[in-house]
Amino acid sequence: MKLQAVELRRVRMSLVAPFETSFGVQTERDILLLKAATSEGEGWGECVAAEEPTYSSEYVDAAEHVLIHHLLPRLFAEPRLEAADVARSLRPVHGHNMAKAAIEMAVLDAELRARGESFGHYFGAVRPAVDCGVSVGIQASIPALMQTVGDYLDQGYRRIKLKIKPGWDIEPVRAVRERFGDVPLQVDANTAYAASDARHLAELDAFGLLLIEQPLPEDQVLAHAELARVVRTPICLDESITSEQAAADAIRLGACQIINIKPGRVGGYLEGRRIHDLCAAHGIAVWMGGMLETGLGRAGNVAMAAMPNFTLPGDTSASDRYYRRDITEPFVLDEGRLRVPAGPGLGVTVDEAFLKEITHRTRTVEAGRSGQALS
């Protein structure tokens, strides 16, 4: 397969409600989508980088730039390209995992569509549908939180995740536990705490949480190992896990009992599979994270979440959790689960008319005769 051209499309999608984390409040997404044209067909990719470099050092403008000027020229220069070759070809470019993941996803989608194979089959899915959790942002008040959590449980979500930060942690968790009983519950700090907060975080042990996700900054893996000796609640790492090697180091240090796999954060679905396999070999549970994906990213995530070691409900929420209208056929909860797409590649179809409505910029980059990018 030869990569011939890539369309980079920027779209704006409003969220159904503001989503607040310890990083700030998000009301819409400025999304970079890729459509790869190859000698065997087309494939779609989605870049999960946000508009601002708050979750990580990556952001969407930089992702578009590095793709055009550094990543795509290397891939165009390959005489033959399969998805398994992308990471090797792009290794000389340091970082930019989210941009790399987006083009790997597009190449993989094209490859699998061409041979009529679904993402689920390719990744060895062992279940036709996956249990869904939902991420609940920081709310304006406890009553507002009760209403929001109650609504999600009524919709059938099988696990609740609360975003927390200093000043919004113990009391919200207590309120949810008292109101909703033994509902599966976990919290996500998005790096908001310091090692000196260990005793305070240990107060969360009283609420029987599934896990506390990324309480400390991403570069403090050893501090997470030390925290794990103070708190009884299992520690889950998110931002700290950027590769299979990072996961291996964290496991060896005893810094986590659980890992959240986000394909965009780790450089792509293939690296996500390697982390899944590593964790399975070491008895570390994994679950699928979310980055407010459209139906494209959601399709890939749901397929990967059907692999054997994804034993906890993920943030693979239905389309209407974030968007009034998706760019693909919507993912709809069925008794708290989402079905794994069965069609070739990602198994979803892009709504081209709607996509055109929400597009604010498009650029196509083609392979030149010597392999360089021509736009």
**Share above pLDDT 90 across residues of the chain, in percent, rounded to a whole number:** 95
163 is catalytic: yes
161 is catalytic: no
User: Quick one: tokens of 49?
Assistant: 């980088």
Instruction: Return the pLDDT at 371.
Output: 44
Using only the alpha carbons of the chain, give its radius of gyration: 20
- The CA-based angle 53-243-46, given to 5 degrees, is 55
* Alpha carbon separation from 275 to 24, 52, 92, 118, 361 (Å, rounded): 29, 27, 21, 21, 35
Tens-place pLDDT, residues 140-160: 999 999 999 999 999 999 999
* Alpha carbon separation from 201 to 176, 197, 249, 357 (Å, rounded): 17, 6, 24, 46
User: What's the CA gap between 365 and 375, in Å, rounded?
Assistant: 4
Q: Dmax of the chain from CA atoms?
A: 66
**CATH fold of 3-115+352-374, please?**
Enolase-like; domain 1 (3.30.390)
Q: Which residues pair with 7 in a beta bridge?
A: 35, 364
- Domain positions in the chain are 3-115+352-374, 120-339
Q: Cβ neighbours of residue 83 under 8 Å, at least 6 residues apart? A: 104, 107, 108, 111, 270
User: What's the CA gap between 286 and 250, in Å, rounded?
Assistant: 14
- List the catalytic residue out of 35, 161, 262, 356: 262
Provide the whole-model pTM.
0.95
**Residue 179 pLDDT > 90:** yes
Phi and psi (nearest 5°) for 336?
A: 80, 15
Tens-place pLDDT, residues 260-275: 999 999 999 999 999 9
Which homologous superfamily is 120-339 in? Answer: Enolase-like C-terminal domain (3.20.20.120)
**Residue 1 pLDDT > 60:** yes
Tens-place pLDDT, residues 297-343: 999 999 999 999 999 999 999 999 999 999 999 999 999 999 999 99
* Alpha carbon separation from 231 to 163, 178, 356 (Å, rounded): 18, 21, 50
User: Quick one: tokens of 4?
Assistant: 């011939």
- List the catalytic residue out of 35, 100, 161, 163: 163
